[in-house]
Amino acid sequence: MLHILVIDESRARAAELCGGLAMAGHQVAAVLPSALDLSAQIERIKPDVILIETDSPSRDTLENLAVMDRDMPRPVIILTSEDDADVMRSAFKAGVSAYVVDNLDLARLKSIVDVAVARFESHQAVKQELAAATKKLSDRKVVEKAKGILMKTRRLDEEAAYGALRTLAMERAQPLAKVAGDLVAMAKLLL
């Protein structure tokens, strides 16, 4: 059972949506009239999923979602009548997992939530892989730069420079990239 935050400016639509979520086996964590101050609300409510029903997602709503996606990502579903491709692209860039246009058949609500959660999890995995690859590349660049400094200043070959970095990293019980970064920073001061 997922705890879902419902955001809808219409109380009548929100009540109908809450009933559909209950029928789908989910619990409504809270109902809010707007996405203003969304990050604070997410911290307070701690929902598993955010479901927004709106005639058209405003720029403020999308900006709030982008901040939330950066700081505390959650699956987000937007139910709307707005079928503009640019708005849809902006919504996905802001971290929306599912963007459903036109009237919602409440019987489809469970599958929409399931798809949004699966898409969110897949997207998070890709983001983590990208972050790991970016860090690995950055670390490699720093190590190469540090090796170059050692090769130039101590007249070592590449293998000996790498060995010196590894020895220093082991002595300090620090990652190789950290030691290399420290060496590069010191070289900037001294050279």
Note down the domain range covering 97: 3-104
The pLDDT tens digits of the residues spanning 80-121 come to 988 899 999 999 999 999 999 987 788 889 999 999 999 999
Q: Which residue has better confidence, 107 or 144?
A: 144
Q: Is residue 19 part of a domain?
A: yes
Q: Which of 124, 116, 44 is nearest to 79 (CA)?
A: 116
pTM of the model: 0.79
Task: End-to-end CA distance of the chain: give it in Å, rounded.
Answer: 61
Same domain, 175 and 100: no
Are 88 and 31 found together in one domain? yes
- List the CATH number of the domain containing 59: 3.40.50.2300
Do residues 91 and 7 share a domain? yes
CB distance 116 to 97 below 8 Å: yes
Q: Are 99 and 8 within one domain?
A: yes
Banded pLDDT at 191 (limits 50, 70, 90)? confident
Euclidean distance between CA atoms 21 and 107, whole angstroms? 9
What pLDDT, on a 0 to 100 scale, did the predictor assign at position 159?
Answer: 96
User: What does the pLDDT look like over 39-72, one tens digit per residue?
Assistant: 899 999 999 999 999 988 989 999 999 999 998 9
**Number of domains observed in the structure of the chain:** 2
In a domain, 109, yes or no: no
Given a contact cutoff of 8 angstroms between Cβ atoms, the answer to whether 6 and 31 are in contact is yes
- Taking only the tens place, the pLDDT of each residue in 6-26 is 999 999 999 999 999 999 999
- What pLDDT does 103 receive? 72
Q: What is the CATH number of the domain that holds 183?
A: 1.10.10.10
3-state helix, strand, coil in the chain (%, to 5): 65, 15, 25
